[in-house]
Amino acid sequence: MQKAGLLGHCVPAWKSVRMMTSSRMTRRDLLANKVSLSLSTHRIGFAIARRLAQDGAHVVVNSWKQQNVDQAVATLQGEGLSVTGTGCHVGKIEDPEWLVATAVKLHGGIDILVSNAAVSPVFGSLMDITKEVWDKLCKDKEKEERMKEILLGEPEDCAGIVSFLRSEDASYITGETVVVGGGTPSRL
């Protein structure tokens, strides 16, 4: 009886603290005063940049093409979001170092780093893949069969989990790999 009383007393206290923290915050407050460095101006990286900015972070977007940076910044600022951007080619050793130094100088630090640079033999639509590229991606028949069943998601499908992982509600989650795959196997 005494043991149950102690446990019963602890659980409501924990729930009330967590619920109070979450219920008082608006989505816009989740990442207030945080600076996010998002390594993309298109697709998944852009969706993540938009979501983090909607959640209150100041976002620094970048791309190796300055025109892509300008377009992304204009779009997000047009939505009333706090964003700046700069050109950076992450494939050049000096550019990422300069990018981080610039973000730190302008904003005092980086709280969230979204490393969205990807290397792939596929450029453009998945539906336009050549046989040579497909063969490189799918080195055996089993992989090829599994690829036929994959449902393609949208960039915004990744943005929510990134925002959540940077919120106070995820403060006890450490060192995990989160698969955003819509139920498809995470390994090809």
Q: What is the pLDDT of residues 140-187, one digit of tens each?
A: 556 556 655 666 778 888 888 888 888 888 888 887 888 887 766 665
Q: Does residue 49 form part of some domain?
A: yes
Mean pLDDT of the chain: 74
Q: Does residue 138 form part of some domain?
A: no
Q: Does residue 46 form part of some domain?
A: yes
Report how many domains make up the chain.
1
Q: Does residue 88 form part of some domain?
A: yes
33 Rama sector, left if φ>0, alpha if ψ -120 to 50, beta otherwise: left
Q: Does residue 17 form part of some domain?
A: no
Q: Bridge partners of 114?
A: 38
Write out the DSSP string of 97-114: HHHHHHHHHHHS--SEEE
Domain range spanning residue 87? 25-119+151-170
- In contact, 63 and 49? CB cutoff 8 Å: no
Q: Exposure pattern of 71-85 as b/e (b: 16+ CB <10 Å)?
A: bbbebbeeeebebbb
Q: Does residue 58 form part of some domain?
A: yes
State how far the alpha carbon of 100 is from the alpha carbons of 88, 174, 179, in Å: 10, 24, 27
pLDDT at 123 over 80: no
- C-alpha span between 25 and 185 (Å, rounded): 35
pLDDT at 36 over 80: no
Q: Does residue 156 form part of some domain?
A: yes
pTM: 0.62
> Tens of pLDDT along 48-61?
999 999 988 899 99
Residue with tokens 């990286």: 45
Q: Does residue 81 form part of some domain?
A: yes
